[in-house]
Amino acid sequence: QVQLVESGGGLVQPGGSLRLSCAASGSIFSISAMGWYRQAPGNWRDLVATITRGGSPNYADSVKGRFTISRDNAKNTVYLQMNSLKPEDTAVYYCNTNPPSRGYWGKGTLVTVSS
């Protein structure tokens, strides 16, 4: 059974940085493209960044140049480095495969950007 556990969220001031981690159990990680998604209150869950099995990233326009997605296949972990954070980045952040699998959603990790 696949489990995805996100961590690293918190409260940060505008302009600050956070690094999110997603640890995957099960056998899907090394064969799957992965993605980070986020859901702000009252909004749909949006795609933030993706990374192929080979490590090629892609980003939503809203985070391009500020966020960096990476993965460590040996550790079954995907990361999201978030710099120059803005209040509009406030959301619960989730990882999943890309495209996402319904049964793989975890609890997410809350990122709050506020002064």
Digitized pLDDT (tens) for each residue of the chain, 115 residues in all: 788 999 999 999 999 999 999 999 877 767 789 999 999 999 999 999 999 999 999 999 999 999 999 999 889 999 999 999 999 999 999 999 999 999 899 999 999 999 9
Query: In this structure, are residues 50 and 57 in contact, taking their beta carbons and an 8 Å threshold?
Result: yes
Q: Quick one: CA dihedral 10, 90, 110, 27, positive or negative?
A: negative
